[in-house]
Each structure stands twice: as structure tokens, then as C-alpha cells.
Structure 1
Amino acid sequence: MNLRNLIPSLLLMLLSCFSLTAQAANPEIKIETSKGDIVLELYQDKAPITVDNFLAYIKQDAFKNSLFHRVIPGFMIQGGGFAQDYQRLATNAPIKNEASNGLSNSRGTIAMARTNAPDSATRQFFINHANNTNLDQGAFGAGYAVFGKVTSGIEVVDAIANVATGTTAAMPGARDVPTNQVVIKSIQVIEAK
């Protein structure tokens, strides 16, 4: 094959690579809350299992009218697992913990909530209100898997983190429940422009 015939093939290969790169961009989501909107980039490249799990719940519209049910200023805001009547929402199967992906629980990152069992995360998530490196790999056994970061609306995270909290008979044992509900109206993928 001569050089003249090889150049179009090389150009086609390069264009394919650029096309694949554009398709592989990390997804963005918008969390619409009763306090305002939060936009996040999800790190599909670093936490593919976690992101796929989260996107599956979004596709099912499973976060609609759920709550930020646990709020601790200077720590985190947690939500996605309870309806407005404080009933626990249905879950898909638990996922493998991806806390060893090199991402840190720094201010503005989103991570999966879980029980003491490392591979028990389902639908509940939290957004770090401060740098919580103690939640990273090794700090609590397997750590808590970060899978994205706030790109817009950190002031909404701050507003939620600073709401009044207390207890409610609907959630026995919980101490950090917002006294006025913070509702997650919806979570949606932002379409690429």
C-alpha cells in the first residue's frame, strides 16, 4: 500500500478516536431540590459501577419527591432513600464498593452511603459539606465511594447543610432530620448540548 492510499485510512482512524472520546464524556446531572438546584459531574471513568447504578435509579425516576433526611453541617447532607412520609424507598441490588478509585471525600463531592458492610450501597448518597478524608479508602474499612462532584450550586449544598435539624417520631433514632423537609423534587441527566 502506498502512502497516498494510507493517508485517508489514517484520517478515518483519527476521526473515529475523536468521536469515541466525545461519546465517553462523563455525564452531568441536576438535582432539583426545594432549596434550589445542584449540578454535578459524575465520574463514569473512575467509578463506572457506582455511576451506572445511580443512573439506573435516575432512569427509573426513583429519586422523585424523596428527601435529604440526614443533614450535619460541616460534614455532609444525605438523601435519596426516604419518601416524604419517611417510608424507606425500594432499592435495587447492592453494588461493589469503588472507594479505592483514588477519589477523595472532599467538599462538594458526592459519595454512596452504605451500612458497615463495604458492598452494601444501593440508592442513598451524600454530598460532602467539608473535606472528609476520614471517609476515604481505609479510614472506615473499605471507605465510601466518591463518584462525582458539584459543578454548580454549592451554595445550595450550604443552604441545605445549615437547615434546622432534630428528631422525628417517623424516624426513631435519627437525630439529624431537617425540621422542615428538604425535598429532592427530581434528579435528571443533563442532555449534552
Structure 2
Amino acid sequence: MTFRLLCFTLLLTLTLPLQASGKKDGSHIQPDNLYPRVKIETTMGNIVVELDRARAPITTNNFLRYVDKRSYEGTQFHRVIPDFVIQGGGVDKDFRELSKFPNIFNESGNGMKNSLYTIAMARQNDPHSGNRQFYFNMADNPSLDPGRNWGYAVFGMVMEGTEVLDAMALVDTHYHARIGWADVPKEPIFINKVTVLPPQ
């Protein structure tokens, strides 16, 4: 009996971390909902985004795990370019880069286009360097779609708050000499809270 109990305890000890690690990609958040909705509360108003787990499961789950960890709260939209993009989610009020999960596979070939009011994953030159930063398309941006080269993965659509994004796109920006970035809002735009909404 003691031997069986020992084996069971050992099995439990080995499987629990595996189960926990299997949930680190965000897939445990509303797992049966292919189109989870997220509310992003900013200093300029609220935005509701419907994510597309059917066509961009890796990117959607990655975004949701940052939401689940409340990791977007207190970040700022540090790049605003009218008729192009509004980008954020990666730096705090002092422009310090925040901790990240591992980079994810680029799902830009999922059929979704970088069209007006879509949300997409920001990245560096490496096509698979997407991580925590995201952007809203403020125009139809076919130059960001895949072609002969990798594009930028779209993973959702703004359902409410387009007027908030329109207002953001009009804020005054400047070259921030200390950090060496252009298109930085003179008056910071912060994300106060991000929550996953109940399934519809």
C-alpha cells in the first residue's frame, strides 16, 4: 500500500508541473471560445477587440497570456503614426522594456489582412521575433501583409472604440531624444487595464 501511495505521489509530482506548463501559452483562457473579446482601458478611452483564435491561435493565445498576467497594465502606446499604426504594449512609463515570454511563430499567412482597425503583432526584422508588443492598423496597410517575404500577423479586429483610436492618431508626437525614438506622443497614452470579457 505504501509503495502504491509512493508511486501515485511521484506521478502527481511529475505530471502537475507538466499540466501547469501546458497552460502557459494562454490556451487555457476560454479554451472553447474561438473569438474571445478583450477590453483595453486606456487614458483616452476604452477599446474592445475580438481576437481570432481560429486563424491565429498562437498569436491570440500569446496575447491572452499577457492579459492574464496583467502585464499590459501600466504600459504605454509609444509609437503613433497617423494613417499607419498605433503601437504599444511593451514599455512602461519610463520607456523600459518589460519582461517577455519566448518569441512566437509568425502567423502572417493566416489570410487576415492588415486593414483598418485590425490588431496585429509587432516584431523586429526577424519574422519570428513577435512577442508582447502589438499595434492597431490605422489604415489599410498592404505593405505589412505577406508576399514574397513574411508579413505581420493580424489576430483580431476592433469591435468598439474606433473613435478612441482615431483620437489617439491625432495626438502630437515628437522625437524623444533620450531614447532615440520618433513618433512618441508628447502626452503619454497609457493602458490602465486589460480584461477578457465573458463569452457572448
TM-score, L = length of structure 2: 0.82
C-alpha separation in 1, matches of 2:127 and 2:193: 28
Which residue of structure 2 lines up, in the alignment, with residue 189 of structure 1? Answer: 196
- 1:8 corresponding residue in structure 2: none
Query: CA RMSD of the aligned region, Å?
Result: 1.3
Q: Which amino acid aligns with 2:182?
A: R
Query: Which residue of 2 is the match for residue 99 of structure 1?
Result: 108
Structure-1 separation of matches of 2:124 and 2:33: 31
Per-residue CA deviations over 1:46-93 (Å, capped at 9, x if unaligned) read: 000000100010011100010000000000100001001111111110
CA contact (8 A) 2:34 2:52 kept: no
1:31–1:187 Cα contact (<8 Å) kept: yes
Structure 2 stretches lacking a partner, 5+ long: 1-31
Residue 133 (structure 1) aligns with: 142
Q: Does 1:123 align with 2:132?
A: yes
> Is 2:176 the counterpart of 1:168?
yes
Unaligned regions of 5+ residues in structure 1, if any?
A: 1-22
Taking the aligned partners of 2:199 and 2:52, their CA distance within structure 1 comes to: 15
Runs of 4+ that moved beyond 3 A? none
TM-score by length of 1: 0.85
Q: 1:87 matched to which residue of 2?
A: 96
CA distance in 2, matches of 1:190, 1:69: 25
Where does residue 150 of structure 2 map in the other structure? 142
The separation in 2 between residues aligned to 1:103 and 1:129, in whole angstroms, is 15
C-alpha displacement of 1:186: 1.5
Paired residues of 1:86 and 1:170 also in contact (CA < 8 A): no
The amino acid of 2:76's aligned partner reads: L
